Structure 1
Amino acid sequence: MSEGTTRANPTGETTTAPTAPPTPPPTGPPAPAPRALLPSLVPLLREWLPRQRWFAGKGRPVTGFSLVSATELLPCGAGGAAPGLLHLLVRAQQSGPPQAGTGAGDCYQLLLGIRSALPPHLAHALIGRPTSGPLHGRTIYEALHDPRLAGLLLERLRVPGRLGSLRFTRAPSTAIASALNPRPVTAEQSNSSVVYGDTYILKVFRRIGAGVNPDLELPLALARAGCDRVPHPTAWFETSTAEPMTLGILQPFLRGSADGWQLALNSLSVRADFSGSARALGRATAEVHTALAAVLPTAVLRRQQIELLAAGMTERLDAATAAVPALRPYRDPLRAAFDDLAELGRRGRTWPAQRIHGDLHLGQTLRAALDGRWALIDFEGEPARPISERRRLQPVARDIAGMLRSFDYAARASRPGPDSSAWAQEWARRNRAAYCDGYAEAAGVDPRQEPELMRAYETDKAVYEVLYEARHRPDWLSVPMAAIHRLAGSPHTSPPAATHP
């Protein structure tokens, strides 16, 4: 039986996939027969999958699985100490109404290591031991924790081509070094990452959607535009279907860089000035937006689109107030921000729209240690949203509002004592203003000149944060609620004041 013999019918927006070089015909032995394979893994996956940080359907029981594809990347023969590597795409069926952004059967990418016995250093990666089926008596584990299997993925990316249901592509005029020691990134993420030496980082997407992931599409476009604010993809792999699904991306590892969130917290902990860095980050954001607008389609949002935009924000507010009682007293004044936006559309106001980052905050930025230059990373947008939605043209105000919220978040999340709380809030105010200053310098357009649009997007982001914290980190709920109080209590507060050198 050939690899990937059963495959779901993906739906979603038609996309143009990155052009791949000609590929050889499928090679390699078939995966274990899917009909027997999946039932034997179901008891293990039902227990293991919901515990993973990247599983989107938490709180709803898993009732079953269906196989999308199965590809054997390394033979899973019986006996011997050598591991096998099995690539699976499975859909998880769950009971109960889906949460916003999740579907009736979300598709997940699994990389399963297979051994006769698991060595002690991989004990933490154990998934389980099938009691039936073709892998009966074998040990199944998370493959990305095994250096040998993680190294095999890099080797597959070094040599472009097709293997079963997968296609591996390398960017033109690039070469990938071999024999680099892999190490998994242990920080909590919505995906999984492996660093090879200090040269590359491979992001493996876990929740898979139809179409090219923006985290591949946008950096490739920025590479064409000559924008050096984003690490350019070195190689990637995807399904070899008519409409490919992006599975993983290899990019340069920015050695010695520090992420903006940690830098901000460090600044707060020692009461250091951060406004110069915030201003430079604003310039970097504007450069990325300008480059995206130059190489990808743009549009103008008119009355109908603006009313739909405001209606979507109102719908998210209604869902959040239903789920989080603390939000209910603020519903009407928060909704006023969205009503004001819709009213401007009815009066003939328009806004340009383009491709944007989609989930911009301090944690999606890196500052180089040597020259202090900022880079933006992780362009997939909000992972909970369908890829078709993440690829929509939107005002740049959404990205800017996300970053402004991030400065405020850092100030609140730093947990300052009573004597430093006022200083932390002033820190946030200064850096929000400095970021807008830098953006205006590079873009030629000051986002603070669109106060209604900025207020609507910042309110929408704060509502999202409240719902997220209520579900995942209740101890943090006070952080976005402070912004809710500000945004609802002072609906016509002026935007951050400009700063001057």
Structure 2
Amino acid sequence: MSAPSRLTPAPAWPEDAVLLEALEPWMAQRRWYPLKGERPVGPLRLAGRWDLGDGVRDLLIAVPRGEDAQVLVHVPLVLAPADKLADFAAPGEAAGNEGLILSTAGLASPIALVDGAHHPDFWRAWAKAALAAGTTLGEDGARAIAQRADRLRVTTGEQSNTSVVMPAPTEEKAGPDDATIGDLIVKLFRVLAPGRNPDVEVSVALARDGWDRVRTPVAWSTLTWADPGTGAEQTADAAVACTFVPRADDGFELLCALAGDDDGDGPTRTRALALARDLGATTAQMHTHLAASLGTTEPSTPAQLASALRERARWAMTEVPELEAKLPHLGERVEAVLSELAALPQLPPATRVHGDYHLGQVLHADAEQRWYVLDFEGEPLRPLAERSQPDQPLRDVAGMLRSFDYAAEVGRAARPDWLPAVRDAFLDGYWAAAPVPVDVATASRPSPQEATLLNALELDKALYEAVYEARNRPDWIAIPLHGIEMILTI
């Protein structure tokens, strides 16, 4: 999309009550709106309002949800003449995403409320505010956003947030003052909660620590408001701009294709194993940099972790009776795994982790022959405070191992030995690059303690998958069932 910047003064903003009344039905139809099928239990209100420029506003809208509960929705807006609204629509997106027309008795004429993500003026004002606040890694990124705002392209695949691509100018069109930085992608967070967003905090920490396998955040923004109940100041990350990884393959699609085309000892299998091994090494590097940049903490005891996993296992077996029907003596077999975990002398130090690690969260750039790791938000349905808690790094390893199972099934692996071979290659790469704990310094990897911990965490992940598939994709439940059976036979 290439939308025109404003050439005439912006219309005046309507009263807050009028604005909120108009926004409520529009918000409810957007894919990023978090309360699908629910009606607010009371009127919307403004938790915060920030004027970034002439006709440019950032809004934080409190949507009431039950007694003393609310959801904070981030809605930046730009005022424009009503007949210009269609200019800001992105090709292929749902009708109305670009904004709405407001016509009311209090206005001299109808006006357009343009969603800020779609309007160049918002991004120019956003970049200027980030520079003023110092929330940048150098000035080039923010300058580039301001320079490229007229060429912004809103992506159509995002659901919980809104992403906007800011492409770099071609060499022949670049001016002498263009920032020397490649393509950028800006993620506008739609649902905010007090505290740092892990996708911003972790990405910034990894970039500052010098890790080049993450999209480098070049600028970000925060919003600060007063809690209506206590008056306490609250802050949340609102948007982040990162370097874009173009011409890269989605990890899940890539491994599915390699599974389906597997040729045993041929070049396709060789490539799959090399990619899995490098992904394992990349994962270990991620954990090393997470520990270096964000520190380590004392872990829970093995018994405490086993107790938490036991509760989750009971929940899964209650939610999905098919588990015990299809897997005889499942409860006893799960308990055997968790008892072995509880008997360990100690766990490794806890660190920040990815939290939602699978093949769909990595990209492979062929030109650079490297993996990139995306989206450090953790599981979106978990509370923000939980997603920011240190955890066992092997939880990420378990998540990726389970993802290989899905790639084998969805890709229809041509040979039954593809999955164990790829899993082994991933683990070989991980153990070769992972820091060696003192207690296993002279032993082969993994140590018996590491193998026990990983086995328990992978079982926990597979049980969670069974619940997810039973609720959302019952035709896929055979994948976690097979995984649980394989894990319990190790």
Q: What TM-score, normalized to structure 1? A: 0.75
Which of 134, 137, 148 is the equivalent residue of 1:171? 137
SS in 2 for 1:309: helix
SS in 2 for 1:268: helix
Superposed CA offset, 1:120-170 (max 9, x none):
7737135655575868954556443x3xx0x3343234324599xxx6722
Which segments of 5 or more consecutive residues in structure 1 lack a partner in the other structure? 1-27, 77-84, 97-102, 495-501
1:365 corresponding residue in structure 2: 362
Superposed CA offset, 1:90-147 (max 9, x none):
2333469xxxxxx942322223455524427737135655575868954556443x3x
1:314 corresponding residue in structure 2: 310
CA distance in structure 2 between the aligned counterparts of 1:157 and 1:172, rounded to whole angstroms: 15
Superposed CA offset, 1:338-380 (max 9, x none):
6744664466333321111111111111222213111212111
More displaced 10-residue stretch of structure 1: 345-354 or 203-212: 345-354
Provide the aligned C-alpha RMSD in A. 3.4
CA distance in structure 1 between the aligned counterparts of 2:455 and 2:311, rounded to whole angstroms: 17
Asked if 1:379 is matched to 2:376, the reply is yes
Q: CA deviation at 1:302?
A: 4.2
Equivalent pair of 1:160/1:170 in contact (CA under 8 Å): no
Change in 2 beyond 3 A, CA 1:111/1:441:
same
Identity of aligned residues (%): 34
Aligned residues: 430
Kindly provide the amino acid, as one letter, of the partner of residue 460 in structure 1: D
Which segments of 5 or more consecutive residues in structure 2 lack a partner in the other structure? 1-9, 169-182, 226-232, 263-267, 437-444
1:15 corresponding residue in structure 2: none
Asked if 1:298 is matched to 2:282, the reply is no
Asked if 1:38 is matched to 2:9, the reply is no
CA distance in structure 2 between the aligned counterparts of 1:258 and 1:403, rounded to whole angstroms: 17
2:172 corresponding residue in structure 1: none
Equivalent pair of 1:440/1:447 in contact (CA under 8 Å): yes
Higher gyration radius (CA): 2
Kindly provide the amino acid, as one letter, of the partner of residue 355 in structure 1: R
Change in 2 beyond 3 A, CA 1:40/1:476:
same
Which of 195, 201, 216 is the equivalent residue of 1:211? 195
Kindly provide the amino acid, as one letter, of the partner of residue 247 in structure 1: A
Change in 2 beyond 3 A, CA 1:67/1:158:
closer
2:256 corresponding residue in structure 1: 265
Equivalent pair of 2:340/2:452 in contact (CA under 8 Å): no
CA distance in structure 1 between the aligned counterparts of 2:131 and 2:14, rounded to whole angstroms: 19
Equivalent pair of 2:405/2:419 in contact (CA under 8 Å): yes
SS in 1 for 2:392: coil
CA distance in structure 1 between the aligned counterparts of 2:105 and 2:24, rounded to whole angstroms: 11
Superposed CA offset, 1:230-276 (max 9, x none):
12210001113544201111011122222211211221232232010
More displaced 10-residue stretch of structure 1: 352-361 or 437-446: 437-446
Equivalent pair of 2:130/2:136 in contact (CA under 8 Å): no
CA distance in structure 2 between the aligned counterparts of 1:265 and 1:258, rounded to whole angstroms: 11
More displaced 10-residue stretch of structure 1: 315-324 or 433-442: 315-324
Q: CA deviation at 1:58?
A: 4.4
1:226 corresponding residue in structure 2: 210
Which of 22, 29, 33 is the equivalent residue of 1:48? 29
Change in 2 beyond 3 A, CA 1:347/1:437:
closer
SS in 1 for 2:349: strand
Which of 258, 281, 284 is the equivalent residue of 1:283? 281
1:13 corresponding residue in structure 2: none
Q: CA deviation at 1:442?
A: 0.8
Equivalent pair of 1:466/1:480 in contact (CA under 8 Å): yes
2:121 corresponding residue in structure 1: 152
Q: What TM-score, normalized to structure 2? A: 0.77
CA distance in structure 1 between the aligned counterparts of 2:110 and 2:475, rounded to whole angstroms: 43
2:164 corresponding residue in structure 1: 194
1:67 corresponding residue in structure 2: 46
SS in 2 for 1:366: strand
1:107 corresponding residue in structure 2: 72
Equivalent pair of 1:203/1:248 in contact (CA under 8 Å): yes
